[in-house]
Amino acid sequence: MVKLIQEVVVLNRAGMHARVCSLLYSTLKSFTSEVILFKGGQSADCRRVIEVLSLGAAQGSLLRLEVEGEDAQETMNAVLTLFESRFFEEDESTALESERVASGSCSKDAEVVLK
């Protein structure tokens, strides 16, 4: 099983609000990997909208993203696309989303942990 770890920054102006958390949840329905966000001493299972909301992640928040499972790479790519595109809430998102989908890879800074 593969575990990927990546730091992400909340870029969208409104932060991790209900619509954004719901979009994250919906995106994860296509994958089986476990996805956890960490902020400070708190963690949140990304398949639980209330947990992600409880992180209180505003614009500029630095989060640690951990993805573990058989489809970890694909799941990480999908989640990074959401963060980099500002969850499709702002005009710049279209170019960023297209670039991420076209590249099909997670950040070169992602840490891979094999179990």
54 is catalytic: no
Instruction: Assign 7 a pLDDT band (cuts: 50, 70, 90).
Output: very high
Q: What pLDDT, in 10s, does the model give residues 92-101?
A: 544 455 445 4
Domain ranges of the chain: 2-114
Of the candidates 2, 5, 15, 17, the residue annotated as catalytic is 17
pLDDT at 29: 95
Global pTM reads 0.77
Three-state secondary structure call for residue 111: strand
Per CATH, the architecture of 2-114 is what? 2-Layer Sandwich (3.30)
Q: What pLDDT, in 10s, does the model give residues 45-74?
A: 999 999 999 999 999 999 999 999 999 999
